[in-house]
Amino acid sequence: MTSTKKKPVPKCNQSSKWKRGVRERIAAQQKQNSKKKATKNSKPQAKFLPWERQPVTCPYCSRRAMLVTGQVIYPHRPDLHDLNFWLCDHCKAYVGTHKAGLGWGNGTRPKGTLADEPTRRARRAAHAAFDPFWQKGDLSRRKAYAWLAESLGLSVEETHLGAFDVATCQRVIELCVARRSQLSDDCLL
């Protein structure tokens, strides 16, 4: 005759309020520690500026822009076909995006606001006037933008040529010409 006695449950598996509380606290601590490790190892994301928030809208007609490739914007430039652009299909204003994998997102983050042809022309001229200050080593890039921000009465975060309108770009060009002539006068003394 075989007796079917129940095996006693080990004390470590017995459920009590005290043990349940300990297990929950340990689980909560482990979860919190894993979150800390994840944040330590992950790269900090750059703060999004107002024009970088999605959905991207056109400043001219307030319609939503669509993400297209360079083949739509520059069909004659095969070297730009793989790049992304935000395009307003209604007024044909567009802006490029930061490349993926460079710390600026997945390749859909706009470099500025959408721009029509006169605005793009003014931004190119402003870059041509301003960029040599930091590219030639006269100033560091950070100091050059700090000078430009102070001269325009803006914060450094707001000082982004890709977000400027035509009038602000003209002001940048005037400031750069004045600064360049001031620097050349200082060199002659």
What is the rounded distance in angstroms from the CA atom of residue 91 to the CA atom of residue 61? 7
CB 77 within 8 A of CB 65: no
91-109 pLDDT, tens digit per residue, is: 999 999 988 877 667 888 8
3 state DSSP class of 90:
coil
- What does the domain layout of the chain look like in residue ranges? 47-114, 116-189
| pLDDT band, very low/low/confident/very high, at 19 (cuts 50, 70, 90) | low
Under 8 Å CB-to-CB from 146, ≥6 apart: which residues?
Answer: 156
| pLDDT band, very low/low/confident/very high, at 44 (cuts 50, 70, 90) | very low
pLDDT at position 180: 87
What is the average pLDDT value for the chain, to the nearest integer? 82
Measured between alpha carbons, how far is residue 160 from residues 29, 109, 111, 150 in Å? 43, 14, 9, 13
